[in-house]
Amino acid sequence: MSQEIVDAIKLLEREKGIDAETLMTALEDALLSAYKKSPGSAKYARVELDRESGDFRVFELLVPEDLEDELLDEVYEAESTIDPETGERRVIEEPDISPEKLAEHRDKIPERDVTPENFGRIAAQTAKQVIYQRIREAERTMMYDEYHDRVGELITGIVQQTDHRYTLVQLRERVEALLPKSEQVPRERYEHGARIKAVITDVSAESKGPSIVVSRRNPELIRKLFELEVPEVADGLVEIQNVAREPGFRSKIAVVSHADGVDPVGACVGPRGSRVRMVVSELRGEKIDIIPFNEEPARFVAKALAPARVREVLVDDENQQATVIVPDDQLSLAIGREGQNARLAARLTGWRIDIRSESDFAEEDAGEIEGEEEESAGRCHAILSNGRLCPNAALPGSRFCGLPAHQELTATGSDYVDPAMAERAAAGEELDMTGEAELVPDHNPDAVDASEEAVGAIPDENDIEAETIEEAVEDVPVADADAEELADAQAEAESDIAVEQPEHQDQPATAAAEAELEAAEDLAGDEFSGEDDN
């Protein structure tokens, strides 16, 4: 039986990688513990196991009294403590001298063989228990050493067991990982025997063995899946800067290229979308938006709101906030279902994003301008070229601030700093409050008024004449076929008259329009006369 134990230990050393000497020492400790539990055992003893034959002997240690007292005093001093409440020393009732202490003084301690006759059966049972225990401990140690450096790594496992609390995933033989409910995707179902991919999030050493926790919700899963499917990402030519994810619904990734001629978005999408399709398939249909990274926050925020189209982005660098203006028909798309698209864009960019429609933003902007006008008491009333009030305070007894250009407005009777805007406002034209409209270059008020009167006189006469023709035509019944031709002629005549004449156009151009109108009228008269004859 002894030789069988030695052979088993050597086999474990080859197959499991467990040190044979470690097993031998553990077996000696277990045999000593078993001997002390037997009746009539010696107070101090040791077990010696032959490394070649497997024979074991039990030796009683005859410790001299003076040496025993000395060793007990050392144990007493080392293990005794002071009660913090009373300040008294807590006395150890039965101090025990450890085998290690006795081994240090082996040359002073005589021994005698006290091996029990039936110790072979006890040794066999003890050896079996010790070997099994050491095997389990060694496997746990090797498992921990293998996986504790692999946190964040993508692994593939097979679902073994699923309930409402967790799912067990087998990584390899005798190695299982825990997929907690908190790390599962709500819409996913894990069937027994299904193969899944996950990311290792935690490896901890516990008394029952190392615990390996994996996740299907972690954003790192998307990064690792793209590294697996896209060679450019694995080689470092394309880098995934950031990942924003709502597991099971939608994800956004920001990618950037570190090599000339490599399109980061195209590399991740793949030929006909084959690469991103593989990632979406592994994520059970989760949508993925691939966004090109940009150093400019405004462009990056605009791209991050895809698939919505963005009209303008106003950036506040100090507060890390961006106001995004989108067309009215793109507002719901930019916000997304329950704010999902905007929320993911904010996580991806790291900016607070405020989305406004064009109409709402225009109304708020107009309201701010009106509010500025209402609160303009004590402020300068000068209207700048961008259509806003001057932010300076007015001088006492004056409507304007101390700027010379603004003080000169007192003599002109106008609040507009730009003469062209003042002339257009006087003419009743609608001003572009952004300041980007094309203004009249001539700043002579008299010349502008004269030209506007000359141009405005012509459309008034033509409008009257056109109204007269329209009334005459409406009074006469017309057949359906002829009515279409008459309507075309009338629309053509009216369009020629309604065209606004530029200031530099000569009078003959107006005469030509009148001639075309008269021709259209004659044509209408001929049609009417022909219909009456019939």
The pLDDT of residue 214 is: 94
28: Cα within 13 Å, side-chain hemisphere: 19
Sign of the dihedral through C-alpha 259, 263, 268, 270: negative
Residue 281 has a pLDDT of 92
Task: List pLDDT tens digits, range 87-97.
Answer: 666 655 566 67
Measured CA to CA, the distance from residue 60 to residue 51 in angstroms comes to 20
Judged by DSSP in three states, 214 sits in strand
- pLDDT (average), residues 234-246: 94
pLDDT of residue 82: 65
> Was domain 148-215 assigned CATH 3.40.630.30?
no
How far, rounded to the nearest angstrom, does the alpha carbon of residue 321 sit from its chain's CA centroid? 16
CATH 3.30.300.20 fits 296-366, yes or no: yes
Q: For residue 335, how many other CB atoms are within 10 A of its CB?
A: 19
CB 481 within 8 A of CB 527: no
Q: CA nearest 134: which of 313, 319, 234, 5?
A: 5
Per-residue pLDDT band at 8 (split at 50, 70, 90)? confident
Nearest to 188 by CA among 109, 284, 102: 284
What's the length of the chain? 534
Q: 477-513: per-residue pLDDT in tens?
A: 434 444 444 445 454 544 444 334 444 444 444 444 4
* Residue 347 predicted with pLDDT over 80: yes
pLDDT band of residue 19 (cuts 50, 70, 90) is confident
Instruction: For 244-270, give the DSSP string.
Output: EEETTTEEEEEEEE-STT--HHHHHH-
Task: Copy the structure tokens of residue 1.
Answer: 């039986």
DSSP-derived secondary structure letter, 91:
P
- Confidence check: pLDDT of 293 > 90: yes
> Which residues are CB-contacts of 15 (< 8 A; sequence separation ≥ 6)?
none
Q: Which CATH number is 2-140 given?
A: 3.30.1480.10
Give residue 522's pLDDT.
52
> What one-character DSSP code corresponds to residue 388?
P
DSSP string, 418-445: SHHHHHHHHTTPPP-TTS-SPPPS---H
Beta bridge partners of 389: 383
pLDDT of 12 above 70: yes
- Collapsing DSSP to helix, strand or coil, 277 comes out as helix
- Determine the 3-state secondary structure of 193 from DSSP: coil
CA dihedral (13, 17, 18, 20) in degrees, to 10, reads 30
Tens of pLDDT along 145-156?
Answer: 888 888 989 999
Identify which of 286, 349, 353, 260 has the alpha carbon closest to the alpha carbon of residue 314.
353
Structure tokens at 421: 């805007």
CB 393 within 8 A of CB 380: yes
Strands (E), 446-525: none
Question: Which region, left, alpha or beta, applies to residue 497 given φ > 0 means left and ψ of -120 to 50 means alpha?
Answer: alpha
Q: Which helix (H) or strand (E) holds 313?
A: strand 312-316
Alpha helices in 286-427 (DSSP H): 297-304, 331-335, 340-349, 358-374, 404-407, 409-412, 419-426
Query: What average pLDDT does range 119-128 have in this prediction?
Result: 71
Burial of 116 (0-12, 13-18, 19+ CB in 10 A): middle
> What pTM was computed for the model?
0.55
pLDDT in tens, 368-422: 555 544 444 567 888 887 777 787 778 887 888 888 888 888 887 778 888 777 7
Tokens encoding 326: 């989108």
The amino acid that residue 341 corresponds to is: N
